[in-house]
Every structure is written in structure tokens, then in C-alpha cells.
């Protein structure tokens, strides 16, 4: 039964791998499952055919036979549950790895998203210069709490898991701000994630599409 995901027809990041389909591609590469991609434009995302698979008109989505999923966290959890390799077999270790997935999405990512909003989407607002340092410090507070976890450990809890996949994917979004480099241990952790062959394949696949789009104009 084939797997089909959706991705931007043309990612606004031009192929830096920051759009969330990269997380799904990475998970599928880790578990060595082939997949196809249906590319959608911003306009098509808001049309009934796509809204039928994603109620909020976004990417990524995941289709596998009669199963249709949206929300990256749910998709990666499904992939990790359905195929071996991304979650430990031992019950408690498995629950902890899933906890790290939620921590990445619910505790670490929200201030990072706020920072992106403040830096990019609200860049022209009169209160931007006042707000930006506050938001940046909220990110730093979380990174300061997370850092000790990785001081002497390669991954968050034993072997690499879906929790690390999600945490690295979330932290990656910080790179352009320069804040990640203030935490060398976390920067190294992200680099370890990016060095994984499965990540490299996922990154290359999304880059190839965005490069082709750039050439096509
Ligand atoms: N909670 C959902 C999930 O985790 O799946 C959020 C999905 C989401 O935000 N999707 C974005 C989207 O479809 C793409 S990934 N946006 C279009 C819309 O809402 O109309 C977010 C994203 C977009 C662009 C960059 N970038 O260019 O750097 C990075 C991340």
C-alpha cells in the first residue's frame, strides 16, 4: 500500500528544509518506507480537494490506503508506530520518546514560532524592536533548560528516536536567528541529526524539488 504525502509546490524557504514535510520525509527515510509526494500550491491548499484531507488547508498530509492524516506530530507518531526503528520496544522508554515528541512540539516550538513571527512577519511593526528581545529571551529560557539534557548524551533518551527527530526539526528553525549557536551543545545535537543519512536523503529530496522550481521560474 503506497504512501503519499503533500508538500509545497514551491517552498517559501527555497529548499532549506524548514517546511514541515521535511519532518515526515525524514521519518519515512528512517524507517525505509518509499513514498510519493503530491505537490500543492498555496491556492490549491485552500480548495475543497485539499481541505478534504487537511481541514486547515496546510501541508503536510499523509495518505496510506484508506488512512488520511494531517498534523506532523500525528503523522510522525503513526509512522513510528507502524514501522519499526523510531521508537523503543520497551514500554516506558517508548512513552518517554513520545513525551519528547510532545515536548518538541508543545514546549520548544511555540516560542520559536513566536520568534519567527516577530522577526519576519511583524518586521515592519512599530513595536517590533521592543517585542523581539522579549520573544528571543523566551526561546533562550527553553534552550537553557534543554541544554543540560544533551551535555553528556548524544540523544535525548538513549538511542535516536522520533523524539530526537522532532526536537532536531524544531531547533533547526532557529538557525537563521543565530540563537542556536549560543548553545554549542544544542548546535552539535542538531548537526548530529542533520548528519544522519535518512535526514540527508529527506533534505536532498525536498531541495531537488525547490531547485527545479527555481530553474523553471
Ligand atoms: N500544526 C501543523 C503541523 O504540524 O502539521 C502546522 C502545519 C503548517 O504550519 N504548515 C505550513 C503551511 O501549510 C507549512 S510548514 N502553511 C501554509 C498555510 O498555512 O497556508 C510551516 C513552514 C512554512 C514555511 C517555512 N519556511 O519558508 O521557512 C517554514 C515552515
User: Residue 206's domain is classified under what CATH number?
Assistant: 3.40.30.10
Residue 202 and residue 190 share a domain: no
Q: What is the mean pLDDT of the chain?
A: 96
| Ligand 1 nearest-atom number relative to CA 14 | 27
Residue 95 and residue 192 share a domain: yes
CA 88 to chain centre: 20
Single pTM value for the model: 0.96
Ligand 1 centre and the CA of 153: distance in Å? 30
Model confidence pLDDT, tens digit, residues 106-144:
999 999 999 999 988 888 888 888 999 999 999 999 999
Model confidence pLDDT, tens digit, residues 158-203:
999 999 999 999 999 999 999 999 999 999 999 999 999 999 999 9
pLDDT score of 217 more than 70:
no
Model confidence pLDDT, tens digit, residues 56-70:
999 999 999 999 999
Q: What are phi and psi of 180, to 5 degrees?
A: -60, -40
Residue 98 and residue 70 share a domain: no
| Ligand 1 nearest-atom number relative to CA 75 | 5
Contacts of 162 (CB under 8 A, 6+ apart): 27, 76, 77, 79, 80, 86, 87, 97, 98, 101
Q: Which of 54, 19, 59 is nearest to 40 (CA)?
A: 59
Residue 50 and residue 117 share a domain: no
**What is the tally of structural domains in the chain?**
2
Helix axes 109-116, 162-172, angle to 10 degrees: 20
Maximum CA pair distance of the chain?
53
Nearest CA to ligand 1 atom 24: 19
Query: Can you give the residue range of the structural domain that contains 182?
Result: 91-196
Residue 29: pLDDT band with limits 50, 70, 90:
very high
Amino acid at each position: 500500500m503506497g504512501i503519499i504525502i503533500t508538500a509545497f509546490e514551491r517552498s517559501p524557504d527555497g529548499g532549506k528544509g524548514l517546511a514541515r514535510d521535511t519532518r515526515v520525509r525524514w521519518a519515512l527515510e528512517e524507517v525505509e518506507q518509499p513514498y510519493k509526494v503530491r505537490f500543492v500550491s498555496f491556492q490549491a491548499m485552500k480548495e475543497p480537494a485539499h481541505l478534504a484531507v487537511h481541514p486547515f488547508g496546510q501541508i503536510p498530509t499523509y495518505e496510506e490506503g484508506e488512512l488520511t492524516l494531517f498534523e506532523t506530530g500525528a503523522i510522525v507518531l503513526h509512522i513510528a508506530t507502524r514501522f519499526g526503528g523510531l521508537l523503543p520496544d520497551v514500554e516506558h522508554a517508548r512513552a518517554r520518546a513520545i513525551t519528547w515528541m510532545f515536548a518538541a512540539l508543545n514546549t520548544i516550538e511555540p516560542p520559536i514560532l513566536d520568534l519567527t513571527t516577530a522577526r519576519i512577519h511583524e518586521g515592519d511593526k512599530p513595536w517590533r524592536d521592543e517585542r523581539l528581545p522579549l520573544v528571543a529571551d523566551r526561546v533562550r529560557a527553553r534552550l537553557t533548560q534543554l541544554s543540560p539534557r544533551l551535555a553528556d548524551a548524544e540523544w535525548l533518551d538513549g538511542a535516536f528516536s522520533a523524539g530526537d527527530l522532532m526536537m532536531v526539526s524544531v531547533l533547526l528553525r532557529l538557525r537563521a536567528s543565530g540563537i542556536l549557536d549560543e548553545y554549542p551543545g544544542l548546535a552539535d545535537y542538531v548537526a548530529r541529526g542533520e548528519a544522519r543519512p535518512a535526514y540527508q536523503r529527506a533534505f536532498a529530496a525536498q531541495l531537488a524539488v525547490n531547485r527545479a522550481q527555481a530553474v523553471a521560474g
